[in-house]
Amino acid sequence: MTDDATERGRTAIATTAADLRPLDPVLLGDIAARQLSRGIPADLPFVLLDVAEDGLHLTVVDPTAESVIEQQVVPTVRPSVLDHLLADHLVRTGRVEQPATQVWTAELLDLASRGRKRLASSDGTFIMGREHVKFFRVAQRDLDEASAGQLAEVVRLSADAGASVPGGVTSLVLAPGHEAWPGFDSALAQSAAVPVLALDAATMPIDDAGRNRHDSGAEVPAAADAGSSTVATPIEPLVIAASALDTVPEITIEPENIVEPPLPEPPLPERLPSNPTPIVRPVYEPREWELEPVFTSPPVTRPRALRTSGARGSGTRMSGRRLLAGIIAVFAIVGIGTATAVAVTGDDGGSADRPMSLADSSSESADADPTYADPADFAEARQPAARYVAPPPPPPPTAESTTEAPSQQQPRPRPRPRPRQRTIPNPIPGLPPIVLPG
């Protein structure tokens, strides 16, 4: 399962020794801003690293001349090689089984590639194959251990490239392609001797011409001064357009007064009624349970002006009469109840004498009782107490009773068999199967 590139060796391919192609000034400006924020000089050479499909592009950049000094391509550091190394690590650690066929190997490499891409946004992920590979987990530590050799090679090549430049390099800058190698920036920062700056994909310039890489070779307007880091490129078409606008006479257009049409008036009736119906506001009407029974005829509005003070006085007198009648009725009921209670209980004198007579009779009967016991009771008490006699034992069973006993016993019901449970295998090894309800 080892890639062919790893078998050929770890030698970098030097594509150019002195490539003076200009770089994108937007990219250089973003790198310079990041270097200044870290306290790194922005006018000294640095190493630019980019992970591509054909390998690792190692470029030494001179920001003063905005050109490439040296560039190398390391074919042993590319995403496909990282997938092979990660798959070998999973097999070596026992996460997955050793593939036996080419289809099995291809499936494992595909899962390793998916795990490597997922590690760019998380520290670990779970992956499950379709046919041969079972459920397993991939963590960032697995990729770091699998790519330790490639990381050491990148550190060595970066140090050699910096040593070839007079004065050395100030930093290692990672292009957005480093995201194909999750954890590359943090691991390189711990191993490199110079600071490491990582660029995001959003900071790379992208235009219609496809100038989105530092080595695209697109022509850039030359600077006014070779020693200056700024580029002053006046745009001639805009100047010509501005001069042409000076010769055009100014034309002022006065706004027109917009007059809104008047709103149409509502049509008037041809003839007005001689006796218009007066508009009467609705007044409060009592509910059905507050008035006399409802009739089929429409309700008559009762204006408040018709209610006089005489009606109010009569209503007050009626309520006073009702209150007086109620008080009289209450007193009558209380009197009737008192008379009834007296008739039922009888005279108070007779009731008081009756308990006294009962007490006298009870005291006389108590005095008449004798104070000694009957001799017959003493004689009965001196007799010996009766002893308990056990009942006779039951007769022994006969042959007829023994034959009839089994027939009288009822057979016990058979226990119901337990229903069979439906289960499915658990995808996690070591756990019991999952029981389906019902």
Element (H, E) at 48: strand 46-52
C-alpha distances (whole Å) from 197 to each of 117, 162, 170, 178, 406 are 21, 16, 11, 11, 97
Short-list 107, 106, 117, CA closest to 79: 117
Q: Tell me the pLDDT of the chain (438 aa) as tens digits.
A: 554 444 434 444 444 333 445 577 888 888 899 989 989 988 899 999 999 999 999 999 988 888 888 888 999 999 999 999 999 999 999 999 999 999 999 999 999 999 999 998 999 999 998 889 988 999 999 999 999 999 999 999 999 988 888 888 999 999 988 899 999 999 999 999 999 999 886 555 444 333 444 444 443 333 333 333 333 333 333 333 333 334 444 445 555 556 566 666 666 555 555 566 666 665 555 555 555 554 455 555 554 544 444 445 455 556 778 888 889 988 889 888 888 877 767 555 444 445 454 445 555 544 545 556 678 888 888 888 878 888 888 888 777 666 665 555 667 777 777 777 888 888 898 888 888 886
172, 194 in Cβ contact below 8 A? Answer: yes
> What DSSP designation does 286 have?
-
Q: What is the pLDDT at residue 213?
A: 43
Is 14 a member of any domain?
yes
How many structural domains comprise the chain?
Answer: 1
The verdict on residue 160 lying in a domain is yes
What is the C-alpha separation between 77 and 79, in angstroms, rounded?
7
Q: Say how many C-beta atoms besides its own lie within 10 A of residue 76's C-beta.
A: 20
Give, for 107, the enclosing helix (H) or strand (E): helix 102-118
**Dist CA 44 CA 32 (whole Å):** 10
175 inside domain? yes
Q: Please report the pLDDT score of residue 278 as a whole number.
A: 61
Angle between helices 184-191 and 148-163 (to 10 degrees): 60
Domain range for 157 = 4-203
Give the separation between CA 216 and CA 7, rounded to whole angstroms: 30
Distance CA 339, CA 337 (A): 6
Task: Give strand pairing partners of 68.
Answer: 61
Are 188 and 154 a contacting pair, CB within 8 Å?
A: yes
Q: Any idea which residue has 């930093």 for tokens?
A: 171
Tell me whether residue 249 is in a domain: no
| Token representation of residue 237 | 């078409």
What's the CATH number where 25 sits?
A: 3.30.420.40
* 291 lies in some domain: no
The DSSP annotation for 295-346 comes to PSSPPPP--GGG--HHHHHHHHHHHHHHHHHHHHHHHHHHHHHHHHHHHHH-
Q: What beta strand segments (E) does 115-258 contain?
A: 124-127, 136-139, 172-174, 196-198
Q: What are φ and ψ of residue 67, in 5° steps?
A: -145, 170
Alpha-carbon separation of residue 218 from 24, 210, 234, 379, 390 (angstroms):
8, 9, 19, 145, 126
In a domain, 345, yes or no: no
Report residue 193 CA to chain centroid gap: 44
Q: Which amino acid is at 410?
A: Q
Is position 352 within any domain? no
Closest CA to 90 of 114, 55, 69: 114
Q: What is the pLDDT of residue 415?
A: 77
**373 in a structural domain:** no
